Amino acid sequence: MELLRDKAKSLLKSGAVQVVIGYAAGSATDRFRPHFARSADEADRLVFGDGCRQNLAVYLLKPEVRAMGKAAVVGGPTTLRTLLQYAVENQVSDGSAVALALEDGRVEELTSFAAVEEYLAQRPHGLSEEDRAELEQHAGRSREDRWAYWSGELARCIRCYACRAACPLCYCEQCITENNQPQWVPVASDAFGNLEWNVVRAMHLAGRCVNCGSCAAACPQNIRIDLLNQVLAQEAMTQFGAEAGYSVRKEYALSVFKPDDKETFIR
Amino acid sequence: MTTFSTAPSASERRNLYTPHKMRIVKATDEAPGVRTFQLQFVDSEVGARFSFEAGQFGEYSVYGEGESTFCIASSPTRTGYIECTFRQAGRVTSALADRQEGDIIGFRGPYGNTFPVERWEGKNVLFIAGGIALPPVRCVIWNVLDLRDRYRDVSIIYGARTVADLVYKHELAEWDQRSDVNLWVTVDPGGQTPEWTGKVGFVPAIVEEVRPRPADTIAVLCGPPIMIKLTLPVLAKLGFAPEQIYTTLENRMKCGVGKCGRCNVGKVFVCKDGPVFTLAQLNELPPEY
Amino acid sequence: MSESSILQRASLGAWLEAMGRAGRRVLAPVQEADRVVFGTPSAPEQIATGFVQTPGSAKSVVFPPFDEMLRFRTNGEDVHVEEPSIAAEPTVLFGVRPCDAASFATLKAVFTWDSPDAWVESRMANLTVISVSCTQCDEYCFCTSVGGGPGSTQGSDILLTPLDDRRWLVEVLTEKGRAAAGLAPQLFAPANGEAASKEKLLAQVPVRFEAKEVAGELPSLFDHPEVWKEQSLRCLGCGACAFVCPTCSCFDIQDERVRDQGTRLRCWDSCGFRLFTLHASGHNPRHVQSERWRQRVMHKFSYQPERLGVTGCVGCGRCSRACPVDMNLGEHVRRLSEMSV
């Protein structure tokens, strides 16, 4: 904790950044909240612990935060991957944000995309054992079981769009669900409308999702929508070898045209 | 289980949000993307009961596309029909623009407060409007002109970006011909055509040039935010007090009846307490419009 | 008209059965997998009791996430329109917290002022609320700051207070409550002085601010240059707070159509969404998140008290529990109340 605070203070003091986006203590002992440290005093409120899971890279694109100046963002591998995915999608330019990578109480300052790539290259890729086991468990169920599960879960969706708001890669100025000419996604939060919304969301994140889990954590209905993203991430990996957020040179599989694409419909 | 029926039983209260069917009896293209519909109630009994006052608005709907909020652009002195003028912008207005004479659309209203035209009797009335904001003003203009002898000088300053963007061109010509109306029509610099004989210049500049006298005068001011912003100081310089200046707010609305929660400016519901406000009233409100 | 009696918990099944026989639909918090939701319990054991608060509110009973307002079918030039029935199913809402019972007063104020909304009015008229006092609370609860309390009877037709593992103290508060209790009068035994012990059994919910005072002070903070921005800096602009809130009632009206048939829907909406107030021209009266956050607070704690005579918050804490970024309404309003002194 002290290492993080000291690092934040030195970055702020030197003018290397104007804000450190980290976590502070929240409403309850097991809750943390995003915190914007712009002074030494504010840096002293930075904390880091097990519950600090929200992907803070989401704030890098917010006008209010951009207006503060250059930012350092605190996080783990998925936050770093977001940064690289932002680079791929031309949302953040090299050197315009600093990442403070936290691991086992140590803080590493990464000031370029190359440094982030190198850092991530030394760490395990893909799903954690836990996530993989969970996915396999779902995949092992019958089609009917899975349909029943998702029908039931998605029927509970209230369309508050907390998943979209918490997702750093859901940054569209105008989301397709709000496009009404034509109305692509049904507006009612009934089983069909919710299914359509959640499937469209998952599809748009296929090959882009960095598996931070912020969507599911944000869901007030506790729906495991991140599982949909994980399935599609696996699929994108299998089909295109595309794993989001490990390289700034990786193209987004679903928006790249290649003459030798294996699908015939595209040629 | 909710049941649906065409005719709720007499003991049931009417659904607040059910529109009346209205037939488009006349459709007029006013300017690029701007149309006027003259509408009559399909149910003549509803039509006979219907009344409204200048400044009120309604929710116009295309079944299957949604509802859109516009003022009633015709004058309450002209009965048997209402008119609305809209610019094609989103889903509903695009669908409305596709409707033709004879088609049926939905209407519910009238909603909101009114311009206190009766209180203005014996005074001069000055109308200042810009672009697509003439419709709410036009309602009051005809209201006043149809009761012409109750008012003193009637002056109209109207401007649009280009000659093509001027709405109600026939009526502008009619007002121009009348000896009991002072009319200045202007287009923004660059918006004139070779044949244009009106003024060229922004509305605030024309107001400054015309120099309307504030004594015993009511000013009705409607237009895009930038026009309002630049015209108000001119009126103030000429000596108009905030109580003399009226406008109508066009905050986004859905229900029109004070429930849906989006049109409020501070504690004020534009749909219920407005849409007509004096500048003195607006000065009391936060600038959330 | 409060009348006290004792009900054995073991008698609940018999009471619910009597309600069913009388044609009343019963909704209650039920345990579903790992969550508590409002549903129709098939047996009294299904009714969840140990929770501090349900994640979602009970407002859907009168104001569901979406309502079909109209159905229509275009037929050449003409349109065939069908309206939903205003009639509502007699419903007993059992086992909600006193804060939820209180929330119906706010909903009623919104939906019945000036132009009454016949559906919501009818659903309310057919609703009997049987709430259960809180014997526990958490760090998010602040009912006592907004005129409520863990044993408040406001908005309830009957209030039950757990006396111990076996018995409830029953307070019948309204005619509707009397009718519900009257469906099985034999189940209610006289309360012999137990009513006096109610206060001691209740949760201790600290008072964080006084909503009445805040209402008077907030207008002067409207133009504060910092506080709204600081409080909302982490806000993501989603609708979780509004959608779990028992009193938030803003809605959108949209049409859906498949070829020549369609419906007009009323859907929950939120002042936190950027599109909520966006004009077709692109102009937005509340164009940044801090203005939308200010609207949320002002609406609940200043505008509604002044215009409708109700506070738009019952202190249930759901918004703060649900917020992905820990925006804590009670904490923020307390801060505002301290600033305005």
> How do residues A221-267 score in pLDDT, each as one tens digit?
999 999 999 999 988 888 888 789 999 987 777 777 778 777 777 66
Q: Which residue of B has its CA nearest to A180?
A: B91
Statement to judge: residues B200 and B253 lie in one domain: no
Model pLDDT, residue C32 = 86
Q: Give the up-direction half-sphere exposure of residue B35: CA atoms within 13 A in the CB hemisphere.
A: 19
- The SS3 of residue A177 is helix
Q: By the 8 A CB rule, do B126 and B220 touch? A: yes
Whole-angstrom distance, CA of residue C146 vs CA of residue B245: 40
Number of domains in chain B: 3
pLDDT at C40 over 60: yes
Q: Which of A75-79, C83-87, C217-221 has the lowest mean pLDDT?
A: C83-87
Best to test chain C binding among A18, A21, A27 (most C CBs inside 10 Å): A27
Rounded mean pLDDT, B282-288: 91
Average pLDDT over residues A37-41: 97
Q: What is the pLDDT of residue A181?
A: 84
Q: What's the average model confidence in pLDDT over C229-246? A: 97
* DSSP classification of residue C295: H
Domain that holds residue B62: 20-111
Instruction: State yes or no: pLDDT of A161 exceeds 90.
Output: yes
Give the pLDDT band (50/70/90) at residue B5: low
Residue of B nearest to C70 (CA): B18
Mark out chain B residues that contact chain A at CB-CB < 8 A: 66, 90-91, 94
Indicate yes or no: CB of C251 within 8 angstroms of CB of B65: no
Report the gap between the CA of C100 and the closest CA in chain A (Å): 18
Element (H, E) at C106: helix C98-112
More confident residue, A188 or B125: B125
CATH (domain of B268): 2.10.240
Q: Cα distance from A191 to chain C (closest Cα, Å)?
A: 12
**Are B72 and B135 members of one domain?**
no
Residue B6's pLDDT is what?
57
Say whether both B194 and B130 belong to one domain. yes
Separation of CA C236 from chain center: 23
| Same domain assignment for residues B188 and B134 | yes
Q: Do B63 and C72 touch (CB under 8 A)?
A: yes
Strand ranges (E), chain A: 19-25, 32-37, 71-75, 97-103, 106-110
Angstrom distance (rounded) from CA A247 to CA A119: 11
Token couple for C171 = 């307070």
A172: its two tokens: 């569209």
* Predicted pLDDT at B8: 47
> Cβ contact (<8 Å) for A220 and C273?
no
- Spatial contact of A120 and A77, defined as CB atoms under 8 Å apart: yes
Interface probe for C, chosen from A21, A54, A55, A160 (most Cβ of C below 10 Å), is A160
- Do B191 and B232 share a structural domain? yes
For residue A260, what pLDDT is reported? Answer: 79
Shared domain for B158 and B242, answered yes or no, is: yes
Sign of CA dihedral C177, C182, C185, C191: positive
> How far off is chain B from C46, nearest CA to CA, in Å?
24
Same structural domain for residues B190 and B80?
no
Interface contact C301, partner B, CB < 8 A: no
What number is the average pLDDT over the span B87-109?
94
Same domain, B175 and B235: yes
Q: Which residue has the higher pLDDT, B269 or A183?
A: B269
Instruction: Identify the H or E element spanning B176.
Output: helix B169-177
From CA A202, how far away is CA C133, in angstroms rounded? 42
0.90 surpassed by pTM = yes
Res. C207 pLDDT band, cuts 50 70 90: very high
- How close C328 gets to chain A, by Cα (Å)? 7
What is the DSSP secondary structure assignment for residue C86, as one 8-state letter?
-
C residues 27-46 lying closer than 8 A (beta carbon) to B: none
Residue C213 CB: number of other CB atoms within 10 A? 12
Whether B39 and B25 have beta carbons less than 8 Å apart is answered as yes
CA-based nearest distance C2→chain A, Å: 37
Chain B contact set for A181 (CB, 8 A): 90-91, 94
Tell me how many residue pairs between chain A and chain C have CB atoms under 8 A apart. Answer: 108
pLDDT on residue A257: 77
Q: Which of B6, B103, B265 sits opposite C81 (nearest CB)?
A: B6
What's the pLDDT tens digit per position in B185-236? 999 999 999 999 999 999 999 999 999 999 999 999 999 888 999 999 999 9
DSSP-derived pairing of the beta strands A97-103 and A71-75? parallel
CB distance A187–C254 less than 8 Å?
A: yes
* Inside any domain, residue B64: yes
Is residue C138 predicted with pLDDT exceeding 50? Answer: yes
Which whole number is the average pLDDT over B69-92? 95
Chain B touching partners, 3 or more CB pairs below 8 A:
A, C
User: Among A33, A156, A160, whose Cβ lies nearest the Cβ of C239?
Assistant: A160
Q: What percent of chain A has pLDDT over 90?
A: 73
**B64 in the same domain as B52:** yes
In degrees, rounded to 5, the angle at the alpha carbon of residue B36 between the alpha carbons of residues B129 and B261 is 70
Residue of A nearest to B89 (CA): A181
The pLDDT of C191-196, averaged and rounded, is 83
Higher pLDDT, B36 or C196: B36
Q: How many CB atoms lie within 10 A of CB B46?
A: 13
Residue B61 β-bridge partners: B67, B106
> How high is the pLDDT of residue C45?
92
Please report the pLDDT score of residue C281 as a whole number. Answer: 82
Q: What is the percent of chain B where pLDDT is above 70?
A: 95
**Residue of A264 and B121 predicted with greater confidence:** B121
Nearest to A188 among C66, C237, C240 (CB): C66
The two three-digit tokens of residue A181, written as one number: 């000419």
C272, C245 Cβ separation under 8 angstroms: no
pLDDT score of B11: 43
Of the candidates B7, B59, A176, B249, the residue with the CA atom closest to the CA atom of residue C254? B59
Dihedral sign from CA coordinates of C107, C110, C112, C117: negative
B42 and B97 part of one domain: yes
pLDDT score for B9: 47
Q: Which residues of C touch A65 (CB under 8 A)?
A: 233
pLDDT digits (tens, 9 = 90+) for C142-176: 999 999 999 999 999 999 999 999 999 999 999 99
- Alpha-carbon distance of A30 to C326, in angstroms, equals 11
Residues contacting A6, CB < 8 A, separation 6+: none
- Confidence class of residue C291 from pLDDT cuts 50, 70 and 90? very high
Nearest C-alpha neighbor of B204 from the set B129, B123, B117, B106: B129
Read off the pLDDT band of B13 (50, 70, 90): low
Q: Name every chain A residue with its beta carbon within 8 A of the beta carbon of C39.
A: none
The C-alpha atoms of residue A156 and residue A150 are separated, in whole angstroms, by: 10
Q: Can you give the CATH number for the domain in which B24 is found?
A: 2.40.30.10
Which residue, among B91, B92, B98, B252, would best test binding to A if mutated, counting the most A CBs under 10 Å from its CB? B91
Question: Which is higher by pLDDT, C75 or C101?
Answer: C101
Q: What is the mean pLDDT of residues B30-55?
A: 95
β-bridge mates for residue C32, sequence order: C35
pLDDT score of A81 more than 70: yes
Position C65 scores a pLDDT of 95
* Pair (B225, B128) in one structural domain: yes
Q: How confident is the model at residue B10 (pLDDT cuts 50, 70, 90)?
A: very low
CA distance A51 to chain C (A): 12
